Amino acid sequence: MSFLGLDLSTQQLKLLVTNEQLEVTNSYAIEFEKHLPHYNTTKGVYTNEETGSVVAPVVMWLEALDMILEQMKKDDDFDFASVKGISGSCQQHGSVYVSSKFHTGLEKASSDKSFKESLTEECFALQTAPNWQDHSTGEEIKIFEDYIGGKEELAKVTGSRAHYRFTGTQIRKIAKDHPKEYANTDRIQLVSSFLASLFIGKVANLEEADATGMNLYDVPNRKWSEELLATCSLSHEKDGVTDESERAKAVESLKQKLGDVTPVGYDNIGSVSPYLVKRYGFSPDCKVYAFTGDNLATILSLPLNQDELLISLGTSTTVLLVTKTYAPSSNYHLFIHPTIPDAYMGMICYCNGSLAREKVRDVLNEKYHKPHADWTLFDELLEKSTSFDNKLGVYFPLGEIVPNRRAQTLRATLNSDGSIKVVDSWDAEIDAPAILHSQALSCRARASPMLSIHTETVAPQCEDLEFDEKTISAINLSQRPHKVVFVGGASKNIHISRKFAEVLGAGENLRFDNPNACALGGAFKASWSVYREEGGNDDYHKYLAGKFKGGMEVVEAEDKWEQFIPGLKMLKQMEDILEH
């Protein structure tokens, strides 16, 4: 028995095969630029620098799936009949605009033809799909936030403020700029539901967790937001549409294009198509389970439970956490969890991660005439920094998202009365611990509203603080995560992981190296779903924890959580005076 997990990302299509013990037995990948050079993409996309448009050719994805399945069949003589379940992940927010002929193309696909041959251009209203890197929807962002009453109100309804890449703003732009193609669109699919459609041989509904990345789904009420659908379809009152029947018609048309939403859970969305059974030898009993977004699949690749964090220390810093607290903010995202119906996945994204730390390292190395990329001195300074020394630095070589500020550097010391004193400069050695402390404190502060209240006792020196124009209570700031798992390139530096762990104060700190997290999350979901449909009772976390053999490393860190409480207020004061 085996399971397939796919990951359709910007630059490649990856497929993993796992067995019943959740062990990876086979791995395949098609890199778009390398293996499909005739599409002339750069890193998988077409970019228009003038407009900010970033799109990918949909037919390229069809050919990639053809190639990967043919490779499995011819090169490996893979036993497709052994596959019991299939799921996967795809680049979030991207959308595919299919015509009514897409249905026919799927249903009548002949097993002697490839997907690319069966699904011709006329199956698609648009030949390209917007990519998450797209920056062409600035006007639409303003409209989405203005029409509903501001960025915080939009976050309250959908879990996120408006973003360039989110599907709702993209649909509005397409409806406005390409009305003929929009009218010819029978269904708007997320990339995840599009890929799932290819496996079941019919149009798959949107998966609920991934649908929360559209700025259209009313998360608290688990349904499409009528007002946002009106905004998306150019029929809102503020668009000048005063005829209620005209608005209702436009909203209903968009609802039909979006289709129903598949609730999160383990129910299959269908068996593999007769086409795949005949062409590759899949069992007709093989089930397909709703594909989800890449960030959501990442959290499925590890046994993470409520109040547990995954922190990716890469070029950017990303915090993912499992929470049952719906505490939306315009400065982070809340998605419905893909396998836990009453839970959410929080996501905080920072621009300035490794790059900012590397710039501090470079200054140190230049001062002491050390090799450019050497971390020895930086690490030694972190090791010597055994406590919070009332010094913090904010280091933004790039404009930052959280908080939303321009590129700048600010250094300060903490006065005895709790105020701060801005300093123009200090010894370069101070910057090493100062940057780690500020980065970790920001994660700690902004994750705290999403953590469960486990203690009603306010920690010493904790007080209500305002971050991002929202007050975080002293009670929230007194909570700690149960567990933190560090991933990403910088997590391999134990000194950096340890410093983050000291500030965050979790009960357990681990490090994990997994470049295939998204595909693995899909395979794990397929395995668990089959288990549940066959009568198993364990929830996703318990199932995964019982079988997981990932080999996570323990990050040994002293409990210095209380030492850094004054740093929270200090960081808040520094952010208040940063230049916009």
* Arithmetic mean of pLDDT, 402-409: 96
Do the domains at 2-290 and 302-352+480-557 have one common CATH topology?
yes
In this structure, are residues 267 and 254 in contact, taking their beta carbons and an 8 Å threshold? Answer: no
* Arithmetic mean of pLDDT, 295-306: 96
Q: What are phi and psi of 50, to 5 degrees?
A: -70, -45
Q: Per the structure block, which two tokens stand in for 323?
A: 């929470």
Which pLDDT belongs to residue 549?
81
- Length of the chain (residues): 580
Nearest in space to 292 (alpha carbons), one of 254, 328, 266: 266
In this structure, are residues 313 and 354 in contact, taking their beta carbons and an 8 Å threshold? Answer: yes
Measured CA to CA, the distance from residue 549 to residue 473 in angstroms comes to 38
Which pLDDT belongs to residue 551?
83
For 208-240, write each residue's pLDDT tens digit. Answer: 999 999 999 999 999 999 999 999 999 999 999
Q: Is 393 helix (H, G, I), strand (E, B) or coil?
A: strand
Which pLDDT belongs to residue 144?
98
Q: Please check the confidence at residue 333 and state whether its pLDDT lies above 90.
A: yes
Which pLDDT belongs to residue 455?
87
Q: Is 93 helix (H, G, I), strand (E, B) or coil?
A: coil
Measured CA to CA, the distance from residue 428 to residue 433 in angstroms comes to 10
Which pLDDT belongs to residue 294?
95
What integer best gives the mean pLDDT of the chain? 97
CATH number of 302-352+480-557: 3.30.420.40
Nearest in space to 199 (alpha carbons), one of 285, 293, 106: 106
- Domain 2-290 annotated CATH 3.30.420.40: yes
In 91-212, beta strands by DSSP E: 95-98, 128-130, 187-190, 206-207
Q: pTM here?
A: 0.95
Dihedral sign (CA 122, 125, 131, 134): positive
Dihedral sign (CA 147, 151, 156, 162): positive
Q: Please check the confidence at residue 518 and state whether its pLDDT lies above 90.
A: yes
Which pLDDT belongs to residue 514?
84
Q: What are phi and psi of 320, to 5 degrees?
A: -115, 140
Q: Which amino acid is at 374?
A: D
Which H, E and C letters describe 325-388, residue by residue?
CCCCCCCCEEEECCCCCCCEEEEEEECCCHHHHHHHHHHHHHHCCCCCCCCHHHHHHHHHCCCC
Measured CA to CA, the distance from residue 158 to residue 221 in angstroms comes to 10
- DSSP tag of 473: P
For 423-467, write each residue's pLDDT tens digit. Answer: 999 999 999 999 999 999 999 999 999 999 998 899 999 999 999
Q: Per the structure block, which two tokens stand in for 350?
A: 């920072």
Measured CA to CA, the distance from residue 8 to residue 135 in angstroms comes to 21
CA distances from 210 to 57, 91, 190, 294 (A): 21, 10, 8, 9
Which pLDDT belongs to residue 75?
84
Q: Please check the confidence at residue 550 and state whether its pLDDT lies above 80.
A: no
* Arithmetic mean of pLDDT, 562-578: 98
How far is Cα of residue 171 from the mean position of the Cα atoms in its chain? 20
User: Residue 476's pLDDT band (boundaries 50, 70, 90)?
Assistant: very high
For 253-264, write each residue's pLDDT tens digit. Answer: 999 999 999 999
In this structure, are residues 57 and 65 in contact, taking their beta carbons and an 8 Å threshold? Answer: no
Q: Which residues lie below 8 Å from residue 302, measured CB to CB, with a gap of 6+?
A: 310, 485, 512, 514, 517, 544, 548, 550
Encode burial over 537-546: b for 16+ CB neighbours within 10 A, e otherwise.
eeebbebbee
Q: What are phi and psi of 556, to 5 degrees?
A: -75, 125
Which pLDDT belongs to residue 540?
97
Encode burial over 259-293: b for 16+ CB neighbours within 10 A, e otherwise.
bebbebebebbebbbebbbebbebeeebbbbbbbb
Which pLDDT belongs to residue 480?
97
For 124-179, write each residue's pLDDT tens digit. Answer: 999 999 999 999 999 999 999 999 999 999 999 999 999 999 999 999 999 999 99
Nearest in space to 87 (alpha carbons), one of 322, 304, 293: 293
| Enclosing H/E stretch for 84 | strand 83-90
Domain ranges for the chain, please list them. Answer: 2-290, 302-352+480-557
* Arithmetic mean of pLDDT, 481-499: 97
